[in-house]
Amino acid sequence: MPAGTIAVIDYGMGNLRSVSKALEHVADGRSVVVTADPAVVAAAERVVFPGQGAMPDCMAELDARGLRQAVIDAAASKPFLGICIGEQMLFEHSEEGDVPGLGILPGQVRRFPDAAMAAADGSRLKVPHMGWNEVTQTAHPIWSGIAQDARFYFVHSYFVVPADEALVIGRAHYGVPFTCAVARDNIVAVQFHPEKSARDGLQLLANFLAWRP
Amino acid sequence: MGLAKRIIPCLDVTAGRVVKGTNFVDLRDAGDPVEIARRYDEQGADEVTFLDITASSDQRDIILHIIEACAEQVFIPLTVGGGVRKVEDVRRLLNAGADKVSMNTAAVQNPDLVAEASAKVGSQCIVVAIDAKQVAPGRWSVFTHGGRNDTGMSAIDWARRVEELGAGEILLTSMDRDGTKNGFDLGLTRAVADAVKIPVIASGGVGNLQHLADGVTQGRADAVLAASIFHFGEYTVRQAKEYMRDQGIEVRL
């Protein structure tokens, strides 16, 4: 495996092709591998942990493929990017299916509350929250070159509620204010899909590849 | 400020080419779906939808190659519909790089397909396309097989049903308006949008930019889909968004 490899963890959930192609687009010739092999994850310089679907299924598949420890080790040791369910799984517990997460970051995963889903004109805010929403940034290298309040593409019904406010580096609003980006040490994780967020999404991925935490 | 209303250009594809053609002045090959999708991405489209209208099954794999090529160059959500019959079809399209897969006739014939597919790949990937035609005031019926067969089912009831089955979004086309350029069927759009908690994409009948705005403000659609007004260069996606913004609609610019 070439030095500087970027590993995209494959546990059978989600559109990994989109993630890997977007990374390749900004990788400047560095190798991007989609892998289910813990040894490849361990040897990679950087790790991307994507996810799509329901969190209970994602957790089950992660364990079925023997990847839990590889994710925990990577999140403890090298530049690590969680995307969507890959962000949610880093936390302690999810309301979705009432399942525990990996517990790498303190906090919960909650569903958009039905009672708050009303728009100003009286119509209903739809769940899943699907489409382009504005992200209010807190200073972090991952936002380099991206305008404050730039829009990113979201598709989700659940969001993270970190126990520690210091983890929050991005917020959005949909019926309720919610956290959409977190960071700690070598970890950064986002609820939206940078791989589907056009120019700003590619910039975020490029920033991750350049990041030296 | 919050979630933007989406504008989605739709490309009808057969045998690897966009059928209705386009009128982009500086495209080398106006019928190439990947090149057209790239152009829409550059104009600020929020998503792109491909509709595979291939009649014969031996050509079905062509759409997979198009999606693969597209996923390497276009970094906005891609939806693919047409000819999806089995969960395996959904998986192949997602693996090729589609973000969402739309099903229509097959969902009516086998509603379990919606449940099975959304359980396997997640609701967010499953779009149910509903082709509806007005049969009485305030009543619309679901049609299948490209609008040839009347199922007798109410479009509103079917929308609620597919939501329960696990669909993540509804692509709602008015058969009465499709191709007319007279604007969306706003009564239909609003009735369905108000009936479900999942996003609704309005489709069928767009002839000008006011129609797009009306779909959102009066039809309460979460997204608006159009083909010919963009293909033939009448308007760019950016012009459409600027127009909607000037009407007070939140868009991504």
Contact state of B76 with A126 under an 8 Å Cβ cutoff: no
- Smallest Cβ–Cβ distance between B2 and the set A17, A123, A173 belongs to A173
Annotated active-site residue in A96, A129, A156, A193: A193
Kindly determine whether residue B96 and residue A17, on different chains, have CB atoms separated by under 8 Å.
yes
pLDDT, tens digit (0-9, with 9 covering 90-100), for A103-137: 999 999 999 998 888 877 777 899 999 999 999 99
> Which residues of B are identified as catalytic?
12, 131
- Alpha carbon of B132 to those of A104, B113, B142, B149: distances in Å? 48, 20, 5, 11
How far lies A119's CA from each of A91, A153, B58, B172, B225, in Å?
A: 30, 20, 47, 21, 22
Q: State the best of B1, B48, B65, B75 to mutate against chain A, taking most chain A CBs within 10 Å.
A: B75
The answer on pLDDT for B25 being more than 70 is no
Question: How much is the mean pLDDT over chain B?
Answer: 91
The ipTM is 0.92
Q: What is the mean pLDDT of residues B126-140?
A: 96
Q: Do B72 and A156 touch (CB under 8 A)?
A: no
pLDDT of residue B26: 54
What is the set of domains in chain B, with CATH numbers?
6-247 (3.20.20.70)
Chain A residues whose beta carbon lies within 8 Å of the beta carbon of residue B225: none
Cβ pair A117, A123 in contact under 8 A: no
User: pTM (2 decimals)?
Assistant: 0.94
Write the residue in B4, B97, B200 that is nearest to A131 by C-beta: B4
Contact B33, B73 (CB under 8 A): no
- DSSP secondary-structure letter at A185? T
Instruction: Report all structural domains of chain A as residue ranges with CATH numbers, in order of start.
Output: 6-210 (3.40.50.880)
For the stretch A165-205, pLDDT in tens is 999 999 999 999 999 999 999 999 999 999 999 999 999 99
- Residue B198 and residue A202: Cβ atoms within 8 Å? no
Tens of pLDDT, residue by residue over B198-247, are 999 999 999 999 999 999 999 999 999 998 889 878 899 999 999 999 99
pLDDT greater than 60 at residue A62: yes
pLDDT band at B29 (very low <50, low <70, confident <90, very high): low
Tell which wins on pLDDT, A163 or B57: A163
